[in-house]
Amino acid sequence: MAEASLYRRVLVIGGARSGKSGYAVALAESSHLLPVMLATAQAADAEMAERIARHRAERSSRWITHEEPLDLIGALRRCAAPDRIVVVDCATLWLSNLLSARCDLEAEGRALADELAALSGPVVFVSNEVGYGLVPSSAVGRRFRDAQGRLNQMLAQACDAVVEVKAGLPLQIKPASLPRIAF
């Protein structure tokens, strides 16, 4: 965890219930900066409201929480500062909210990735890896899966570090040295 904390822009990806959020929270807390949570979830039903409450309860009282389901760029501009570390949990729910609002997913993702260099403080993004599963049976499901894959690629390019969490274990992807083979 210490290595990733040296970077100003970190993407934490992984499957559902892989430990992504817990890792991102621990990473932020290890920075000794004021931790800020930008939560993108909306409590549309009782089960989601319970999930949101559980996530809040898992964080210490030091955390400042802002809920922003759509205007993530504006929220990042307001919250990012040199003395703070912002955790965005999560890019996948943000993208889902944009899909429901009939926004241009590609343009929104590109705008977010382009904004990262201008932020005045460190940020950690949590995002789901959706490319390992089955091909969705509906057109909207396939559209979302494709948009999520493109968003993850854009964020990975814009971030200094990418960490994949599997079964609670962080695996640093970027930066990484690729093995060299001598012929």
Among 3.40.640.10, 3.40.50.300, 3.30.565.10, 3.40.47.10, what is the CATH number of 4-174? 3.40.50.300
- Give pLDDT, residue 2: 41
- Give pLDDT, residue 178: 57
The domains of the chain are located at: 4-174
- CA distances to 36, 62, 152 from 58, rounded to whole Å, are 14, 12, 26
- Give pLDDT, residue 45: 79
Say if residues 181 and 137 touch (Cβ distance below 8 Å).
no
Task: Mention every residue, 6+ apart, whose C-beta is less than 8 A from residue 83.
Answer: 33, 34, 121
Catalytic annotation, pick one of 8, 33, 55, 78? 55
| pLDDT tens, N- to C-terminus, the chain (183 residues) | 444 446 899 999 999 889 999 999 999 999 989 999 999 987 777 887 787 777 777 777 899 999 999 999 999 999 999 999 999 999 999 999 999 999 999 999 999 999 999 999 999 999 999 877 778 889 998 999 999 999 999 999 999 999 999 999 999 999 976 555 555
Determine the Cα–Cα distance for residues 174 and 155; give it in Å rounded to an integer.
12
Rg (CA), the chain: 16
Tell me if residue 32 is catalytic.
no
Strand partners, 66: 38
DSSP string, the chain: -TTGGG-SEEEEEESTTSSHHHHHHHHHHHTTSEEEEEE-----SHHHHHHHHHHHHHS-TT-EEEE-SS-HHHHHHHH--TTEEEEEE-HHHHHHHHHHTT--HHHHHHHHHHHGGG-SS-EEEEEE--TTSPPPSSHHHHHHHHHHHHHHHHHHHHSSEEEEEETTEEEEEES-PPP----
Angle among Cα 99, 126, 101 to the nearest 5 degrees reads: 15
